[in-house]
Structure 1
Amino acid sequence: MFKPILPAYLLSMNASSIQVGLVTSLFTIGAVLIRPFVGYYLIDNQRKSLAICASAALMIITILYPFLNIIWLLLLLRLFHGAAWGVSTTANSTIVVDLIPKKRLGEGIGYFSISTTVGAIVAPSIGILIYDSYSFDILIWSSAVLSLLAIIALQFVSSPINVKCKKKPFRFLDMIYEKEVWFPALLTVITTLGFGAIITFLVLFGKQKGVDHIFLFFLINATVSTLLRPFTGKWYYKKGPWSIIIMSAVLGFFSLVILSYTSNDSQLIIAAILFGAGYGTVMPCLQTWTVQKVSEEKRGAANATFFSSFDVGVGVSAFVLGILAEWISLAMIFRFVSLSFIVVAVLVYKDYINEKYGMNKSI
């Protein structure tokens, strides 16, 4: 709920475009740097207790926002916020992998990816509505209440007892990503560049263009991606990841191009439908593909790699585009980042050709 609001909130504090970009980038840095340590800890330690502690940390950090009126302190808080987020998402996703029956792992990850995708898409619209209708403080306390509900809900989640095993020595580079899933991880980074542009600049873009109902983009986006999931899931399992990702990436490209020319609600809705069908389909497919590429004991690490790739894509997008926003319009930002979907489509097509003719043995 914070991501689309914080850029506008910082601008009200006279922050620069680079500082606006750092709001997301520092969050990403905190999440990515903490995950290798969390992944190593979770090898033979309780997931549930760590998930509860991380949710409590998220709630406390959230409550601190209104009390920090100095930009650099707010940016520092974002770094710690990202670290708490990294712990929470890694622990939660590992619990999910533990709970899903082995024979239904792909299906279970698909359902879990719906929850994460829809949550990430619905939350911005709720945040915008609360911020526009009430105030930033009300947004903070609403988020704090949700964090409290998460802490309570986690009490009822069962977590399998970990089997103690001999750990290998900790190596940061080995833990930060699972080598076997480098390709879908790379695709995840590139795909989320477009999402990073939207959560960083869409609210500001709407104010510039006089489009009052920006929240519709996020709401329709979530609705479309949810409704399509049963059909796209069947497509994935019948045809594999290549054709569905290519088609969805093309839709994502057109959605950002149309969004860049948007000046009214009708154009915004069209862009939202296409983005929900495109980006909202690509991300669950990439998460499922990531987990399927590794053996059972590496699925937790693969899942953590997927989330880190997501955070890296969003963070890089916010920082780089924040710098570009000093020189080009937000409309041009959306057109520029739309090319990331074309890159994804080309890379996936190349991987399909390699697989078809037996040159790619890693899948």
Structure 2
Amino acid sequence: MNKQQIFTLSFLFLFISNFLIFIGFEMLLPILPAYLVSLNANPMQVGLVTTVFTIGAIIIRPFIGYYLIDHQRKNLAIGACISLLIITMLYPFLNNIWLFLLLRLVHGTAWGVSTTTNSTMAVDSIPKAKLGEGMGYFSISTTVGAIVAPSLGILIYHSFSFHTLIWSSALLCVLAVIVLPFVQSATPIQHEKQPFRFMEAIFEKDVWFQALLTIVTTLGFGAIITFLVLYGEQKGLNHIFLFFLINAIVSTLLRPFTGKWFDRNGPWSIIIVSATLGFLSLIVLSYTTNNGSLMIAAILFGAGYGTVMPCLQTWTVQKVSEAKSGAANATFLSSFDVGVGMSAFVLGILAEWMSLETIFRLVSLSFLLVVLLVYRDYKRNKNM
């Protein structure tokens, strides 16, 4: 077998399983708040749907990153996927709001275990010389799933029922569980483990800069998933799904090119260029009044945000030893959750005082901040 081959059967099975998990999870996101409202939840309780989930994922990831240093990954990945299946099937049976929110906390915990373990297994299976290209391909399973699934969930919910949506999500989890045993998990190299310290493990100190960039970058994504549908209604854009579709297509088609660019030239130039495109995408979106400019914004966002995120994940993993790849992945994923959660909360408050056009223009500055921070890091490394 070619040791420099990315697309092994094991990698493909892991990709498929991770894609199914993300579709099954993300299709619930826009619907669960509405379902909680049907249980007579107040606005604060509805807001907690995302908050408690994020808390569960962030709390568990440091423990999982530490555990993965010297433990097998595959059994944990299978167990986490089965947990996601069981949790998903419980939602229709909970009519008590606080029990519902407690289940969201548990769901976030299982999600944190699954995503951290799967990402670490992906790093294990990719040749180190092609890590940027390989992680770019693997991230398609997460980004495309996250982009397509919300629209799919809304379609199923409106066309059928909440129960049909739940069973559809559960079926995807079942398929993901079936696929996972075919993944070959590398045997962890034995290393001397440092004592576990939770506060230090929340963010792996060696990747604090990449974690900061991830949080800043996801502010733009948070604005899109929070306000784009509402923005489309305000502007009379009847084909807002085009943004999500084109975004997914563009980010997927560019992966072979951008991954190789990362491997040849390092993270700085590709992140600077793609973050600039992310800035332009939100500016164009803020002036959008027709489907033509909407598609231009989608192309720019797919090329921009869709490229920055896999580059940041690869850079995060490269900054640490192989033994710490699990901890680094945990830090990256937690940073993503923090950025999206913070964006939804802060922008939700600002939306009471300013237009959505202004919101998009304001958040576009986050991409410029990424450009400045990465350029400064490039100059610092060049002068070392």
Alignment of 1:20-99 (within 5 A): 20-69=46-95, 71-99=97-125
Distance 1:21 1:321 in 2: 13
C-alpha spacing 1:92/1:350, structure 2 compared with 1 (3 Å)? same
C-alpha spacing 1:73/1:196, structure 2 compared with 1 (3 Å)? farther
Distance 1:258 1:72 in 2: 41
Distance 1:146 1:219 in 2: 21
Alpha-carbon deviation of 1:143? 1.1
Instruction: Note the aligned Cα RMSD (angstroms).
Output: 2.5
Distance 2:295 2:98 in 1: 36
C-alpha spacing 1:311/1:231, structure 2 compared with 1 (3 Å)? same
Alpha-carbon deviation of 1:357? 2.5
Report the TM-score, using the length of structure 1 for normalisation. Answer: 0.89
| Deviating more after overlay: 322-331 vs 248-257 | 322-331
Alpha-carbon deviation of 1:225? 0.3
Alpha-carbon deviation of 1:5? 3.7
Report the TM-score, using the length of structure 2 for normalisation. Answer: 0.84
> Number of residues paired by the alignment?
358
Distance 2:359 2:30 in 1: 16
| Deviating more after overlay: 44-53 vs 27-36 | 44-53
Correspondent of 2:186 among 160, 163, 174: 160
Alignment of 1:325-344 (within 5 A): 325-344=351-370
Alignment of 1:339-350 (within 5 A): 339-350=365-376
Alignment of 1:1-363 (within 5 A): 1-9=27-35, 19-69=45-95, 71-162=97-188, 166-358=192-384
Distance 1:44 1:33 in 2: 20
Alpha-carbon deviation of 1:282? 0.6
Distance 1:66 1:146 in 2: 17
C-alpha spacing 1:298/1:163, structure 2 compared with 1 (3 Å)? closer
**Secondary structure at 1:155 match in 2:** helix
Alpha-carbon deviation of 1:204? 3.3
Alpha-carbon deviation of 1:344? 0.8
Alpha-carbon deviation of 1:182? 1.2
C-alpha spacing 1:44/1:353, structure 2 compared with 1 (3 Å)? closer
**Gapped runs of 5+ residues in structure 1?**
359-363
C-alpha spacing 1:17/1:187, structure 2 compared with 1 (3 Å)? farther
Q: Is the 8 A contact 2:126 2:134 kept in 1?
A: yes
**Gapped runs of 5+ residues in structure 2?**
1-26
C-alpha spacing 1:105/1:271, structure 2 compared with 1 (3 Å)? closer
**Secondary structure at 2:195 match in 1:** coil
C-alpha spacing 1:207/1:15, structure 2 compared with 1 (3 Å)? farther
Alpha-carbon deviation of 1:190? 0.6
